[in-house]
Amino acid sequence: MIPVVANFPTARPRRLRRTAALRELVAETRLSVNDLVAPLFVREDISAPLPITSLPGVLQHTVASLVNEVGELADLGVRAVILFGVPSQKDAVGSGAYDPEGIVQVALRTLRAEFGDRVVLMSDLCVDEYTDHGHCGVLDANGEVDNDLTLEIYAKTAVAQADAGSRVVAPSGMMDGQVGAIRAALDASGHIDVSILAYSAKYASGLYGPFRDAVDVQIADGGDRKGYQQDWRNAREALTEVEADIAQGADMVMVKPALSYLDVIVAVRAMTNLPVAAYHVSGEYAMIKAAAANGWIDHDVVALEQLTAIKRAGADVILTYFTRWFAERSAATKRGGAS
Ligand code: PBG
């Protein structure tokens, strides 16, 4: 009999795929609850948490329900949360972002008193939730976002957040020079230990839709953020952004969204030894939820596949609305044994 496969060394990768135990042994990428950051929304002037229709399972919290949620996440082993505020009043400059009594500052002080350093408290640093026009900065006479005036507001916001107990501020507005301005303000106010997680390569994506429902933001006059967020046709430009942020003192750099930009994550990972974060954004989460609710995809399989892909591409830290689900699943797996 002539053997079907010739008798010479042939790669046989399937040998190592035969059993679950073998696959576990040789897995290159292991997603862990330690990698994840939970984005949480806290809203002023509500007496009970409110669901967000386009983000099933995610809530606009009261300060009290936020404290509960963070406690439960910490018990599940989650290391970090990032806060977004939903104020009851908005104005032209987004003053609620830096008001010591602004909703995020109130929430930070409460969480800090409750949890200390048990959970890393991060705060998104932007003004779009607080401006009546919905842009990430203040507008000039022509209605365009004024870069340098906005930096002054970001600097004040960074100090207000740090004063209130934030350990990591995360500027997400894509203004030029934002990391340097914030670093200088933090240092000058004695917050040399507060880190900066820079949303360095943030694209003008269509995938932020559900988030804007979560924070009640509509950009005035049907506007968009293409004047400051990146054009999705550009990958090399992301490296210019990352270089600039590192030069200005970023402690971690981020790519956002994640799945449509895995190439950018790979490139950023290759150019820096700083921790790289990626944001699996609201639209990415909502697409899985909606397709799974229709029975078109398997929720758990696809969520795991996507989060693992983000880590495989090179992200050390993943911001995701799946954090609680993943942490609960990991805890159950640990108890039950099987994966
Ligand atoms: C801006 C900000 C946005 C997100 C995080 N920070 C919205 C935007 O740029 O329009 C989006 C996050 C998501 O979609 O999950 N403060």
Q: Is the pLDDT of residue 5 over 70?
A: no
% of the chain with per-residue pLDDT over 90: 91
Residue 4: the pLDDT is 65
pTM score, whole prediction: 0.96
Task: Give residue 10's pLDDT.
Answer: 85
Q: Which residues line ligand 1 (CB under 6 A)?
A: 124, 126, 128, 172, 208, 211, 225, 281-282
Q: What pLDDT shows up at residue 3?
A: 61
In order, the DSSP letters of 213-254 are: HHTT---GGG--STTTSBPTT-SHHHHHHHHHHHHTT-SEEE
What's the sign of the alpha-carbon dihedral 148, 154, 156, 158?
negative
CA dist., res. 63 & res. 42, Å (int): 6
The greatest distance separating any two alpha carbons of the chain, rounded to the nearest whole angstrom, comes to 86
Pocket test for ligand 1, best of 90, 133, 211 (most atoms within 8 A of CB): 211
Q: Which two tokens stand for residue 79?
A: 């290391």
Q: What amino acid occupies position 216?
A: D
Do 211 and 263 meet the contact criterion of CB atoms below 8 Å apart?
A: no
127 and 94 Cβ atoms separated by less than 8 Å: yes
Enzyme catalytic residues: 202, 256
Q: Determine the residue of 60, 104, 126, 254 to mutate for testing ligand 1's pocket, defined as the one with the most ligand atoms within 8 A of the Cβ atom.
A: 126
Q: Give the containing element (helix H, strand E) for 168.
A: strand 168-171
List the beta bridge partners of residue 168: 122, 195
* Residues 11-69 pLDDT 10s: 888 999 999 999 999 999 999 999 999 999 999 999 999 999 999 999 999 999 999 99
pLDDT tens, position by position, 189-208: 999 999 999 999 999 999 99
**Residue 242 pLDDT level (bands cut at 50, 70, 90):** very high
Residue 7 has pLDDT above 80, yes or no: no
Instruction: Please provide the CATH number assigned to the domain covering 31-338.
Output: 3.20.20.70
